[in-house]
Amino acid sequence: MHHLVTVIAGRLPAVLVTLGILLVACSPASSEPAASNGGAGSSAGASQGATASSGEATVEGSLTSSGLYDATWTWQPPNEAGPGIGGITLNSDKGTFGSVAVLADGSITFTSGAPELSGNAVYTGTGAQVQLKDQIPCGFTLDNDLTGSTDAGVLHLSGTLTIHGGVFNC
């Protein structure tokens, strides 16, 4: 028995390293989705109803921004697809990312790392048309001006997004 404990203890560092490698290999590669520039083989602009793995949420539709930044925004797996404050991570047709969150009361928050949008400024507004399911905002239609938090610039968002499935059963 003593010999077995000595053998296991001597191999403990190797076991821990192997366990660490397995955990890294089984973890998502990154919380940041891969950029899409709409080129060959990409689904930018075509993800009107992109699919994700079974049981995960998907998002149908698109948004268009104008004013400070003219772009079309669509959801693509494995982007975030949470209703309400969780927000939906979107890819633009210009290869940038944004996040939109719409609450049940119609309030809107949009952020993006696009350089034209004052380096991660938060744009807020009200008046979204929200589709609720069990008090959860599972879809919304926008045609609203949003005001920037750092520069008071105006970004207009229009379009419709609808979440399907996911943990909130939209």
- What average pLDDT values come out for the chain (170 residues) when binned by 10 residues? 39 32 30 35 38 74 96 97 95 96 98 84 96 96 94 92 94
**Both structure tokens of 109:** 């928050």
5-22: pLDDT as tens digits:
343 344 433 322 232 322
SS3 of residue 115 by DSSP: helix
How many whole angstroms from its chain centre is CA 160? 16
Which CATH architecture is the domain 58-164 placed in? Answer: Beta Barrel (2.40)
Cis peptide before 137 (omega within 30 of 0): no
Q: 63-84 b/e with 16+ CB inside 10 Å = b? A: bbbeebbebbbbbbbebebbbb
